[in-house]
Amino acid sequence: MSKTIKVALAGAGAFGIKHLDGIKNIDGVEVVSLIGRELEKTREVANKYGIQHVTTDLADSLALPEVDAVILCTPTQMHASQSLACLNAGKHVQVEIPLADSWKDAEEVVRVAQAKGLVAMCGHTRRFNPSHQWVNHKIKAGEFNIQQMDVQTYFFRRTNMNALGQPRSWTDHLLWHHAAHTVDLFAYQAGSPIVKANAVQGPIHPTLGIAMDMSIQLQAANGAICTLSLSFNNDGPLGTYFRYIGDTGTYLARYDDLYTGKEEQIDVSKVAVSMNGIELQDREFFSAIQEGREPNSSVAQVLPCYKVLHDLEQQLGS
């Protein structure tokens, strides 16, 4: 495919804007339709990015014959059903993490994507962040093997707010959203499937209806282990911090920054064409469409992560 890829983007909030900013840097791609919950706010974002078609209904965008692909940055609870709608409309789809909030729905998206022969990808951004790519390159070169990963995912979200500090229309989830990043990354970096998984969670929030604290242990088939701590109660530095403990070194990844265990910064600026993990994720999606191939972080590749999350959910009795 050499023609311009025409894209519809659903979700004009904080994450949708991150994708729009990334796509601006990618040649051969044009966002032609923007879908949002509130028409006027969506129109404001569309005007800023020069997008002509604005709607509150995904079906309107799927009906546009010029749309080749859709990026979904919508509430977690809509991901699976909207992915299926895109695939059934003959559109390639990239859905932000998580692919689904149930194992059954995740399986169905993979089944339909394979039946339709379309590019279907999930936004497991950690696979694309330059810091984690640097570690992955070292692993693939046989220079580093993970013995243990220690990960902290900490937010302060005692009220229902989004990344911009605005009220949210839906409730986020530590297990199905935030744990998904690390569960997938651990198996991906270890190069080995997860064979053991355990979890405990703290009290359920009285109004949000979710656990605000969680601890997860994982083991891969090759023996590597991972300990993941998650909280929405953390009133301090926010974000996710990764410690890779291996046979030849220790590395600390803090988003796009990487350090040795002795806090010496590693230059990751030349790892990829951008330092923006969302942009790199989008570049992979569009390249896969153009080249007619399976993308890194395809829905099929990340499906095992959702089986682990399902098993943990069953274990927690939630």
Q: Which residue shows structure tokens 């990751």? A: 268
Going from the C-alpha of 159 to that of each of 86, 153, 232, 289, 306, the distances in angstroms are 32, 17, 9, 39, 26
pLDDT band at 1 (very low <50, low <70, confident <90, very high): very low
Model pLDDT for residues 125-171, shown as the tens digit of each residue: 999 999 999 999 999 999 999 999 999 999 887 766 655 566 655 56
Model pLDDT for residues 57-71, shown as the tens digit of each residue: 999 999 999 999 999
Q: Which of 5-9, 171-175, 251-255 has the lowest mean pLDDT?
A: 171-175
Provide long-range contacts, Cβ within 8 A and 24+ apart, for 279-282.
279/21, 279/22, 279/23, 279/25, 279/26, 280/128, 280/129, 280/130, 281/22, 281/94, 281/121, 281/123, 281/125, 281/127, 281/128, 282/19, 282/22, 282/23, 282/26, 282/29, 282/71, 282/94
Going from the C-alpha of 61 to that of each of 9, 36, 86, 101, the distances in angstroms are 9, 11, 10, 24
Query: Within a 13 Å sphere around the CA of 225, how many CA atoms are in the beta-carbon half?
Result: 4
**Average of per-residue pLDDT across 272-296:** 97
**Average of per-residue pLDDT across 14-21:** 96
Q: pTM, whole model, 2 decimals?
A: 0.94
The rounded distance, in Å, linking the Cα atoms of 46 and 292 is 29
Q: Which residue shows structure tokens 């399976």? A: 294
H or E, element range at 103: helix 103-116
CA quadruple 87, 91, 94, 95: dihedral sign:
negative
CB count within 10 Å of CB 86 equals 29
Residues 6 or more apart whose CB falls under 8 angstroms from that of 115 comprise none
**Average of per-residue pLDDT across 262-281:** 97
The rounded distance, in Å, linking the Cα atoms of 76 and 243 is 27
Going from the C-alpha of 128 to that of each of 123, 125, 188, 267, 308, the distances in angstroms are 9, 5, 12, 16, 21
